[in-house]
Amino acid sequence: MTGYDDRDGKIWMDGALVDWRDAKVHVLTHALHYASSVFEGERCYDGKVFKSREHSGRLLKSGELMDMQIPYTVDEIEAAKKQVLDANGLSNAYVRVVAFRGAGPDMGVAAARNPVRMAVTAWEWGSYYGDAKTRGAKLDIAKWKRPSPDTIPTDAKAAGLYMICTMSKHAAEAKGCSDAMFLDYRGYVAEATGANIFFVKDGEIHTPLPDAILNGLTRQTVIGLLKDRQIKVHERHIMPEELEGFEQCWLTGSAAEVTPVGQIGDYNFEVGNLTREIAEGYEALVRS
């Protein structure tokens, strides 16, 4: 496959469209050394980015939580996304917006004088978990744990929070799994490396309370779909030994959309009717 740095097309950087291969930063960019970066992953369906303004607002909030003032408004970010999609002729695509501290007069932990830069990219991207949408994804259980909110701003969609995600997903793939599920610092079920998690038992839904994880926009959307169907949703702390009693499981995320899970560690789940109903309902909603 062609590398992501070697493609045709346009990328929006700092207010202007540039050729894809020219979208570069200096090796002393602060974000490269100290993870001073926040981002959003979004999907465009039939020319419309789902919950686009909510994503743009969350990007700005993530910047604030990281003490990094992003120099663009929601309207300006929205306009940049449209420019990128139009310039690349895309109507169904994955959209990535990233804001980061660039190179500047500071090169150490502190970097208040360095500019905050932003880029917007988009590309065609199919199912995040391949054929798992039909057979169910297989998950490992990560050895790392999601950190406490008093150690890092867990409400931010920040690059540094994904370090253990990369390591955990690599370890999972080496075992033949699609992804890994985290526990949090207290030992409760948390989430996958880039997606929230839901369980079904006796026709009701159980999902981790988002008090140490990102409360995903897709997660919120799916909870809304469930409540519209009069399905009881329990947002609560879930112990790992409870997995044995759950019947179905799925993941949610902008990239993952709604993906069934067939196995987590030694626990197996049915790809059942409720899982399929919610996946189909989500697909219909994002294209409505």
Q: Over the stretch 143-186, which tens digit does the pLDDT of each residue have?
A: 999 999 999 999 999 999 999 999 999 999 999 999 999 999 99
Decide if 157 is catalytic.
Answer: yes
Is residue 24 within 8 Å of 103, Cβ to Cβ? no
CA–CA gap between residue 280 and residue 250 (Å, rounded): 13
How do 233-236 and 10-13 pair as beta strands?
A: unpaired
**pLDDT 10s digit of each residue in the chain, 288 long?**
689 999 999 999 999 999 999 999 999 999 999 999 999 999 999 999 999 999 999 999 999 999 999 999 999 999 999 999 999 999 999 999 999 999 999 999 999 999 999 999 999 988 888 777 778 999 999 999 999 999 999 999 999 999 999 999 999 999 999 999 999 999 999 999 999 999 999 999 999 999 999 999 999 999 999 999 999 999 999 999 999 999 999 999 999 999 999 999 999 999 999 999 999 999 999 999
Task: Please name which of 274, 250, 244, 243 lies closest in space to residue 198, comparing C-alpha atoms.
Answer: 250
Task: Please name which of 201, 199, 51, 18 lies closest in space to residue 118, comparing C-alpha atoms.
Answer: 18
CB-count exposure of residue 52 (10 Å: 0-12, 13-18, 19+): buried
For 125, residues 6+ apart whose C-beta sits below 8 A from its C-beta are: 93, 94, 255
pLDDT at position 282, please?
98
pLDDT at position 131, please?
77
CA–CA gap between residue 208 and residue 164 (Å, rounded): 19
pLDDT at position 199, please?
98
Tokens 């399905």 locate to 231
- Which one of the listed residues 133, 157, 169, 175 is annotated catalytic? 157
CA–CA gap between residue 7 and residue 59 (Å, rounded): 26
CB-count exposure of residue 144 (10 Å: 0-12, 13-18, 19+): middle
Count CB atoms within 10 A of the CB of residue 24: 11
pLDDT at position 2, please?
82
pLDDT at position 242, please?
98
Identify the structural domains of the chain with CATH numbers, from first to last: 10-123 (3.30.470.10), 132-286 (3.20.10.10)
Give the three-class secondary structure for 210.
coil
pLDDT at position 1, please?
65
This prediction has a pTM of 0.95
Angle between helices 217-228 and 52-65 in degrees, nearest 10: 130
